[in-house]
Structure 1
Amino acid sequence: MAVIAFVNQKGGCAKSTTSVHFAYWLSRKKNKVLLVDADAQRSSSIWLESMETQIPFEVVQSPDDLLERIPELVQTCQHLIVDGPAGLSESTRAILFRADLAIVPCQPTGVDLRSASDAMRLIRQAQSVRSGPPKAAVFISRAVKGTKLLEEAIALLTKSEVPILKSVVYQRQIVADTFGQGATVWELAGKPAADASKEFERLFKEIMGLLQ
């Protein structure tokens, strides 16, 4: 049993997209999964409601409820995925006090890199209080191939104390379309969907490797 949280203070960094795709990927591999939607916009729970493949979820948003419910909910599944709220709120802190692994999606822009740095600071505070967990890492999301911005972001993150995953998920319209279609890239046809599914597969295998 493991609690894996996707957190960042900045909206639009692909927290919900990654959370839903990760839950679906684990479910396809016959894992018992539960997703906790802690974001006020409820993007991931609305998305899961519209999907043909039924993946269980709970909407839990207040700090006290998160602290109390996460330990209870993780007992009912193999992997509990938490889609964190936008903003480094007390709810985010509560999630980090319960997570085994915290993943920070980060777009390769100056604003997003600063936001990821703030998220990692909060993670380090939780690690200090808990004397260890959660494990943590950043991955680059919604990147544009071949751009100087992407190269600079990778170089900057590599030089920092923030663990960075090798996998990169690139910006694709097919990924942006998945929410509206009530699906994941694995359920859509065409080469862009196939390419995106390979990127998510690499990312999720790398994330699971951190739990070992």
Structure 2
Amino acid sequence: MAVIIALINQKGGCAKSTTAVHFAHWLGKLGKRVMLVDADAQRSSSQWCSRMEQAIATQVLQSPDDLLEQLGELAAAVDFLVVDGPAGLSEATRAILMRADLAVVPVQPSGIDLQSAADAVRLIKQAQLVREGKPPAVMFLSRAVKGTKLKDEALGLLGKFSPQFKVLKSVIHQKQAIADSSGQAATVWELSGQPAKEAAREYERLFKEIMGVLP
């Protein structure tokens, strides 16, 4: 049975889909059998994966019933199921949290995004009440700008969600190479240039940290 890792946040633009695709690709590089489940109405992650030279197996599931019924079935055939959750805290998100082994919440350093994170935390807590503490959840700062006061303030505010929700030390900084990766049907590992290499190192640190907190 696969480990089901769900990336969720109601706020668009937090790099949820970008992180999901890069995570699935990274797991594949490790030799793991991985599938990405696209639960977002825009279907950006599944379309991205289908265009990649080394295509990642994907499945589009968007209704709460399909997610509840099929995530477990899909997990039986792989090592890792990476779920790109929908925008908006819908019933589909609740369904995902009823099946996930770990919830990962990417957060941008802005007031609106931090409020959205609080809403996601509430949904996760509700699932944990039903499932006796599952799924554990982690948060990380995405699309941050180095050396800014906003980044430091955001990290401080995220810390208020702990100890129930672990705030990862890894931070993904905003880089054009990351923004370009989808349009080029690639990940930062396939792109050239120093910014892409730096982004790859940041993702590597993040994903290793996520693997380290798996139950």
For normalisation by structure 2, the TM-score amounts to 0.97
CA distance in 2, matches of 1:117, 1:23: 26
CA distance in 1, matches of 2:19, 2:32: 17
1:86 aligns with 2:87: yes
Query: Residue 211 of structure 1: CA displacement?
Result: 0.8
Partner of 2:213: 210
CA distance in 2, matches of 1:59, 1:160: 31
Q: Show the 5 A alignment for 1:7-156.
A: 7-156=8-157
1:193 aligns with 2:191: no
CA distance in 2, matches of 1:131, 1:166: 27
CA distance in 2, matches of 1:160, 1:136: 10
Query: Residue 132 of structure 1: CA displacement?
Result: 1.6
Per-residue CA deviation, residues 38-91 of structure 1 (Å, 9 max, x unaligned), is 000001000001100121010000000000000000001000000000000000
In the alignment, residue 61 of structure 2 is paired with which amino acid? V
Query: Residue 157 of structure 1: CA displacement?
Result: 1.2
Partner of 1:158: 159
- Runs of at least 5 residues in structure 1 that lack an aligned partner in the other structure: none
- Runs of at least 5 residues in structure 2 that lack an aligned partner in the other structure: none
CA distance in 2, matches of 1:171, 1:19: 16
SS at match of 1:165: strand
For normalisation by structure 1, the TM-score amounts to 0.99
In the alignment, residue 172 of structure 1 is paired with which amino acid? K
SS at match of 1:186: coil
Query: Residue 159 of structure 1: CA displacement?
Result: 3.0
SS at match of 1:88: coil
1:3 aligns with 2:4: yes
CA distance in 2, matches of 1:24, 1:16: 12
Percent sequence identity over aligned pairs: 63
Query: Residue 168 of structure 1: CA displacement?
Result: 0.1
Across the aligned residues of Structure 1 and Structure 2, the Cα RMSD in angstroms comes to 0.7
Query: Residue 179 of structure 1: CA displacement?
Result: 0.4
Partner of 1:182: 185
SS at match of 2:93: helix
Per-residue CA deviation, residues 154-188 of structure 1 (Å, 9 max, x unaligned), is 11111333321000000001100000000000001
Partner of 2:174: 171
